[in-house]
Structure 1
Amino acid sequence: NGWWTSDVVQICIGLYDQRGPKHVGMERGEEPDYKMYFTPASANSDNGAGVLAEHGDGNYYYETFNPDYVFEFRISLDDILIDDDARLTPLNGMRTPFEPMIHDNDGSGWEGLLVLSPINNDNAHQTCEVWSSTWIGDQATTMSTGSDIVLNEFALHQNYPNPFNPKTTIRFSIPEFQLVNLSVYNMLGQQVITLIDKELSAGYHVANWNAGNIASGIYIYKLTSKGKTLTQKMVLMK
């Protein structure tokens, strides 16, 4: 069986500013496209460049929290080049093709594929036309600093930092004065801690969690109010 039949993450990315039509096939040269996949042992090129990094070498880290996992990977824009590929010089506002995919196999064979693009249809490995895109930016723009601004949506944002050790911050907003419960659960569905359980005013709120006495792993935090529930995952890594 090929690596794609395992529990593995695959990433397709184009290292160029994509403004015209999307590429049909994988291209090299001035607008190079890359495919990578990540196993417990290594980060690998799917363009024929072999192993890009190995677990524990300082550029790749992979940890399993049965049945979940988390990994971190870094590679220089010089080392990723193949043949005569042009090196990307990142600039604010660039739009780069990007398509992450998660292959699912919980032990009984390949079960499915989680993708970003709504037109992926398991074709991202064949054509860049179905890839999504992201952007490059390192500047934040403040639209207003007025204290009278109130967010009018029920939203739960990704915690930061994530992964974390042992402190993290959770941000959320509610559209009106209401009773709110924000709790953390382990992957067995057992409640670990309740961070907030009280009435709050409309707007933006922040909760801090110090998980100093909690074991490493993947946790779910859940925001519940007026019959609505939102959840997010976070990784505690000690």
Structure 2
Amino acid sequence: MNTYQDLLEFKVVNFVNFPLATRDELGYRYPADFSNVFTFIGKNNRIIGTLGAETSIQEIDAMLKRTMASFYGIYLTKEKENILLTENMIELDLKEYFFSENYSGIEFIIKSSSNPYIVQSAIQDTKLILNRTSVVGFSDMEIIARVPGKEIYAKLDIKIINPSSLYEDFEIGSIADSSIPWEKTGSLPWTVTSEQSYFNTHSIRSGRISPNEISGISLKLDLAQPGTLIFAYKTSTRPYFDRLHFFIDDLDYSDTESTELWSGVNDWRIMSFSIRAGLRSIRWEYIKGPYDPFNDDIVWLDMVVIPDKFNKETPTDNIVWNSTSLNSFPNPFNPLTEITFELLQNEKAELMVFDLKGRLVAEVYRGELEKGAHSFSFDGSSLSSGLYFSVLKYGDKILTNKLILAK
């Protein structure tokens, strides 16, 4: 559906009887180069919203419902809300998000919640009650104001974070003031800024690096138990070539998603990852390609929540991330590969393989090993194609290495 005529046909087929306008009719409202925009006009010629030519049927359907709802006196006054659950209970007045000429004729409904375990929710009259649970995490929630008996509504999107006791919203003077032990890496450091934010007024942004340079920030933590890592990020870069990367133990989790989500122009996005106990390395890197700046040429990071059951004083010099002394051949492999390493003295050792979600998929070896070179065969015939990593523990050392199973 990419022409005005297509939209008109959709309007007729679905018996929608309210006016639409194009950019040609309301062109003064938009930049000259912003062509082929659909403007949705509700009751009393109120502009409900706009959609571009390249849009989905779901987006059009949602906008149509909002427009129809306006004829029944329902308007969204605020479409989105971000909530940090730092109190046991939060009460939101839905009248601040929905305007109605007659609230008694409106039905408020919690349409969906992507993670109901982090918050218990209920609606009382026009109040949304959020009760915090003990589960750290992130959830998308949709609240709709509906005309009873009619499939038309206005929708409020709420993003909720239930944090651990240790989080950083960067409302600080500099990264050095943070309670989280950040380390700066790359050509130019990240800095605190007020130009963009997900919560409150500040975030951190990558350095203005030159082509083929890196601006990074990292953490090394000794977690006493598994936990949840949450963060918000935003990008304004050259699509595909200049992108944000996110690593846990040198494993690039951003590579598991479309490059478009980590480069180009993207609004704030919340990510949540399960983190295993033990020594962990967490790293964000803005890696710039060979071309000159494009868009703002920056990425931002905000509201970082890390597990709070850890010892910040534990030294991390004993962890070797992506060690070259732990190898495998062939790699990629199907279905067999040999994992090799060398010990400088007799050691008690564990060799394991984990998947991308940190789940143990194989315990290759556990026991005493003599000084010298060692080789163990790993069979991935029962596993799906994808990225895995081997982990070798011995003495006070932890070595990791990527494994690519390509069937």
Same fold (TM over 0.5): no
Structure 1 or 2: larger helix share?
A: 2
Name the larger-Rg structure: 2
* TM-score, normalisation: structure 2: 0.25
